Amino acid sequence: MIPINRPWIDNEEKQEIIKVIDENALTSAARDGGKRVQDFESSLRRFLNVKHVVAVNSGTAALHAALLALDIKTDDEVLLPSFTFVATANAVVASGAKPVFVDINTKDYTIDLHDLKKKISRKSKAIIPVHLYGHPADLTELNEIANQHSLYIIEDACQSLGSTYKNKQTGTFGTMGCFSMYASKVLTAGEGGAIVTNEDKIADTLKMIRNHGMVEGYDTRVLGLNYRLPELSAAIAKIQMKKLKTILDLRRRNSLLLSNLLETIIKKYNIQIPQEDQIKKFNWYLYTLAFNGSDDLTLRDHIKKKLIENGIGVAVYYDPPVHKTPFYQKFSSLNDDLQNTNWSSEHVLSFPVHPGVSEIDIQNIVNVLEKELQNII
Ligand SMILES: *Cc1c(COP(=O)(O)O)cnc(C)c1O
């Protein structure tokens, strides 16, 4: 089975973990974190060309810490897409604020600017654009809208490490950007996350929040939690940074090959494939198709089943969308006519393009897909 994603860990990560154990340095509650936390932070800082990186223990923690750092709380509203992993919304609810769900565009599945403008209210405090599948949201326009309405932007870049917008790394456009190092992400530590910012004061606050709001000793000054990244995880993340460029190159190679081979069948079966343009360059975290042609809602699920039977680990991100989950239905309002979100959740399917996928695998994926489409249509 080719899984949809798989961490690429080898001997160098192993050796670094052994060093952590030999040094008996499993974690550090110092304000600046342990040695490997700091090494990882420097390395990510250089890659992103950003002033500050604060490593934490998950992408969820990164999002929650970012909201706390802006003092977002009860009675505030935060605008975000419903077409995302639920962590984005959970972080908002954990802060006490109300999530306001915004529709997406069906071109690249990122936040829809028209719907966003309609949903801004006097209570709005922040926008969380999600660079879903590694597709950058429309950051120039988002910045303009945020400026006009005095809103913060917190980028959910958990899926977009290495994606760029106008040649600048995603995650570095907003007041803060949040990254995840969960096992399935482009760069992994098993679990882990990071917040990046160019503002000194915010970086300072984030370091407090990561460590119970403390600065020197037991002197809690703001609400914080234990969001520290353990050294064992930081050790993996630090070594992974060395191969980030190779990881991105292999994902790109696989994705461009997949696009080339799909060329002949996308017109015939009315399939939409992901497409970069001059402004948006992808990290190719997920290669996501949409079966455009058919109103038959069983088509996508049927193809998914057949591909999995053939050892190809395709997956749907996300069905249901957040606003249709049992917990979030209670946040719904009349406003929640998220047509493109609903359509996308019923038509998209993501394909594996991670570094463990070979060019022969890609060829095989296309052959199986074409055969199954011929059988149905
Ligand atoms: C993975 C992910 C998160 C959460 O990150 P964790 O490290 O799993 O907590 C948040 N948002 C998006 C879009 C993600 O893909």
Q: Which tens digits make up the pLDDT trace of 185-206?
A: 999 999 999 999 999 999 999 9
pTM of the model: 0.97
Q: What is the pLDDT of residue 335?
A: 57
The model's confidence at residue 220, banded by pLDDT at 50, 70 and 90, is very high
What is the edge-to-edge ordering of all strands in the sheet holding 271-272?
A: 271-272, 287-291, 348-351
The model's confidence at residue 165, banded by pLDDT at 50, 70 and 90, is very high
User: 178 near 194, Cβ under 8 Å?
Assistant: yes
Q: How far is the CA of 34 from the centre of ligand 1 (A)?
A: 24
> For 210, which DSSP code?
T
Helices 87-95 + 59-69 axis angle, to 10: 40
Three-class secondary structure of residue 181 per DSSP: coil
- Which of 131, 180, 184, 236 best tests ligand 1's pocket when mutated (most atoms within 8 Å of CB)? 180
Q: How far is the CA of 60 from the centre of ligand 1 (A)?
A: 6
- Which of 5, 80, 82, 85 best tests ligand 1's pocket when mutated (most atoms within 8 Å of CB)? 85
pLDDT > 90 fraction of the chain, expressed in percent and rounded: 93
C-alpha–C-alpha distance, residues 207 and 228, integer Å: 9
Three-class secondary structure of residue 102 per DSSP: strand
pLDDT tens digits, one per residue of 278-305: 999 999 999 999 998 766 778 899 999 9
Q: What is the pLDDT of residue 217?
A: 87
* Overall average pLDDT of the 244-248 stretch: 98
69-101 burial code (b ≥16 CB/10 A, e <16)? bbebeeebbbbbbbbbbbbbbbbbbbbebbbbb
Residue 81: its H or E element: strand 77-81
Q: What is the pLDDT of residue 332?
A: 72
Q: Kindly report the protein residue whose alpha carbon is nearest to atom 5 of ligand 1.
A: 59
Write the single-letter amino acid at 279.
I
C-alpha of 302 from chain center: 27
Write the single-letter amino acid at 3.
P
Q: How far is the CA of 371 from the centre of ligand 1 (A)?
A: 34
Rg from Cα positions in the chain: 21
Q: How far is the CA of 62 from the centre of ligand 1 (A)?
A: 9
Indicate if the pLDDT at residue 334 is higher than 60: no
- What integer best gives the mean pLDDT of the chain? 96
Query: Among residues 285, 255, 299, which one has the least CA distance to residue 273?
Result: 255
C-alpha–C-alpha distance, residues 118 and 120, integer Å: 6
Indicate if the pLDDT at residue 21 is higher than 60: yes
The CA–CA distances, whole Å, from 320 to 90, 93, 169, 326, 344 equal: 15, 19, 30, 10, 10
Indicate if the pLDDT at residue 96 is higher than 90: yes
Q: What is the pLDDT of residue 331?
A: 78
The CA–CA distances, whole Å, from 78 to 95, 107, 120, 255, 324 equal: 10, 24, 9, 34, 18
**Stronger pLDDT, 126 or 336, i.e. the higher one:** 126
Q: How far is the CA of 187 from the centre of ligand 1 (A)?
A: 12
Q: What is the pLDDT of residue 274?
A: 98
User: 234 near 40, Cβ under 8 Å?
Assistant: yes
Residues in contact with ligand 1 by the CB-under-6-Å rule are 58-60, 84-85, 87-88, 130, 156, 158-159, 180, 182, 193
Three-class secondary structure of residue 218 per DSSP: coil
User: 146 near 138, Cβ under 8 Å?
Assistant: no
Q: How far is the CA of 285 from the centre of ligand 1 (A)?
A: 13
